[in-house]
Chain A
Amino acid sequence: MTLPSQATTPEAGSGPSPAAVAGAGGSPMVGRSPAQLMWRRFRRDRTGVTSAFIVAFYFLVAILAPVISMVYGKDPYTTYGQNQPGLLNDYGYPILPNGGVSGDFWFGLEPGLGRDVFMQLVYGIRTSLSIAIVVTIITTVIGVVMGIWSGYVGGKTDYVIGRIIDTLLAFPSQLFLIVFLPVVEAAVVSPEEETPVWLRYVSICVVLTVLGWATISRLLRAQVLSLREREFIEAAKVTGASPFRIIFKELLPNLWTPIIIQSTLALPLYVGAEAGLGFLGVGMTEPTPDWGRMFLVGSNVYHQDITYLIFPGVSMVIFVVAFNLLGDSLRDAFDPKTRR
């Protein structure tokens, strides 16, 4: 390091003009941002990359479900087993071994109704994953807003939000879900009418969101509290920066890491919660295909037909494990100091 030179460089003398340098994106003087460093670290993590691919595969399946259905030539609603003779026996179980797995029905047939298991699973993943994504996005947004608000403003606001979070976190959430889903619906639909599908979808999202935002909010509040004390926040205040600017320009860039990590870890939890609801019979209702409800059906038939349970089970295990490994890898890449 040198002592300050007496401005030996005349304006136009040495060094390229500002415009020239700004244009030279790949110049060696461009530093690596923390985000770029994370990305490099992440790419070197084989487990992380593999699980990212697996996770991406599930997302693709969910998004492309109609295309898959078209190519495969079947849909999740038709009761093939009942329509075509020779597929199900008198008791409603597939005649072919292994749950009726064949070239026509890749994952076999559903006992009883005789629907195609592969299509059920693909569309079930689509339903469950979309609920989980919606809930993750909304909880993250609410959690971030509440967390920053409570951490940055402090005082009474913080106290009130803090107590609400305490209450929510202390709730036995599965129980709450089971009890409140019917309540939410009863508030909108009269008992005689049939509950529309979208309403069930919305109420699952609402209840999961109400129970879910507290975790991320608490975490972000703690982050904001520690960031608030950092001197760069004061430096911004000294220059006259508005609270708005401080939150968006100074705090938020430092919060992306916990936000991304938290939502990555939260998403499989919501998939699990949604599946749990389906299993308990309060999730998405027939005929909407649902990943979780397949477990309910499977648990009723597994004595005779264990194959049916294997497909949703194995796919769910792979999904949750891959997603959690991805979350851990992201955490390692973002936060190299806190290696587990």
Chain B
Amino acid sequence: MTESLLELSGLTKYFPVMGGLVFKRQVGRVHAVDGVDLTVGAGEALGLVGESGCGKSTTGRLVARLLEPSGGTIRYNGQDISHASRRELKPIRSEIQMIFQDPYSSLNPRHTVGTIISGPMEVNGIQPPGGRQKRVRELLETVGLNPEHYNRFPHEFSGGQRQRIGVARALALEPKLIVADEPVSALDVSIQAQVVNLLQQLQRDLGIAFLFIAHDLAVVRHVSQRVAVMYLGKIVEVGDRQSIYERPRHPYTHALLSAVPEVELPEDGVGTERIRLAGDVPSPIDPPSGCRFRTRCWKAQDKCAAEEPPLIQITGNHEGHLTACHFPEEPTVHGDQEIVLDPALA
């Protein structure tokens, strides 16, 4: 792995939960992100995957410093930016950019495409050679849009095109790291692949590191060199792409993988396992003790409730492939295992 550009250690973010009839007071807290350790190398694409509500967006927004962490540190290029103020962040802002999930709310409806894309340059006082307008046209071309469209308004574009505008805006400052928070999940399936390809190409051509957030493993499969699987505010498994997709150890990763529609049939004739998880993710306000996955895990034992499994390299795993589980699964995705935990589907 290359030298790390972004380093998260023990990162936590709690949101207060207010209650009370007349006087609002804090009655609890949402453990949105609860001790996340991650690294992203320069030019590397890391996929961050997990079910809805497990804290992926919160992690992404912490990295982009839209939120201030409750605990832990965020180091960018060795510099601790966990609690940096807007002024202190100024030089780093241009290096960490973000692509948002909703192409309809991420572009100001009252601005032209040109204004939207040149906005970041204006804020940071960047005068590219040849002027901002020329740069905007270049960027539009880079993301596969007609450069003559810079005078148009967002409502004149389709969802996929809008998302490309968002990508162009993120590129305007020539960032080193882009946090892409489910950049394609709001798009039509047919357009998803195009946008994913675009991001992949940018990552390769421009050497930008990506934190690519998605809620299933299918989307990040081709984009990421490494994948981290998140569950209820914690990383449960992280490793290079091959390890995660072919030799997953954590039961949750197995469950997520079995939900990925299989494109090619396995040659050896053995079917892939089918796992259906029961119920919903438990509330992050009061997460289960020990292993957070134990309420839905088919391998759970007493130890799982008592002791939190550390994120470690299990024997037999590749270098850098870490799993947090007391009783890991076999490192394969094949097998006749059919686990249907959902009573509704049984």
Question: Which residues of A approach B to under 8 Å, CB–CB?
Answer: 1-5, 7, 9, 15, 18, 21-22, 27, 29-35, 230-232, 234-242, 245, 249-250, 253-254
Contacts and interface: CB of A to CB of B under 8 A. Distances in A.
Given A18-B130, A22-B133, 8 more contacts: A9-B141, A31-B112, A34-B110, A234-B66, A237-B66, A238-B96, A239-B123, A239-B173
A244 to B, nearest CB: 11
27 contacts: A1-B160, A2-B144, A3-B198, A4-B142, A4-B143, A4-B197, A4-B198, A5-B144, A7-B141, A15-B147, A21-B148, A22-B133, A30-B151, A31-B152, A32-B153, A33-B153, A34-B110, A231-B101, A234-B66, A234-B100, A238-B66, A239-B119, A239-B173, A240-B89, A241-B119, A242-B86, A253-B110
A3 B194 contact: yes
B213 to A, nearest CB: 14
Contacts of A34: 109-110, 153, 155
Interface of B: 61, 64, 66, 86, 89-90, 93-94, 96-98, 100-102, 105-113, 119-120, 123-124, 130-131, 133-134, 137, 141-144, 147-149, 151-153, 155-156, 158, 160-161, 166, 169, 173, 191, 194, 197-198, 201
Q: Which 3 A-B pairs have the closest CB atoms?
A: A31-B152, A240-B93, A253-B110
A166 to B, nearest CB: 15
Contacts of B90: 240
B341 to A, nearest CB: 35
B105 A18 contact: no
Contacts of B101: 231
A240 B141 contact: no
A258 to B, nearest CB: 13
Contacts of B137: 15, 18
Contacts, number: 116
B111 A253 contact: yes
Contact of B112 (A21, A33, A234): A33
A30 B148 CA distance: 9
Nearest to A21: B148
| Most B C-beta atoms less than 10 A away, residue of A9, A15, A237 | A237
B106 A240 contact: no
Contacts of B86: 240, 242
B148 A5 contact: no
Given A22-B133, A232-B105, A1 B66 contact: no
A241 B148 contact: no
A241 B169 CA distance: 14
A294 to B, nearest CB: 44
A238 B112 contact: no
A232 B107 contact: yes
Given A235-B169, A239-B124, A1 B158 contact: yes
A239 B120 contact: yes
A31 B110 CA distance: 12
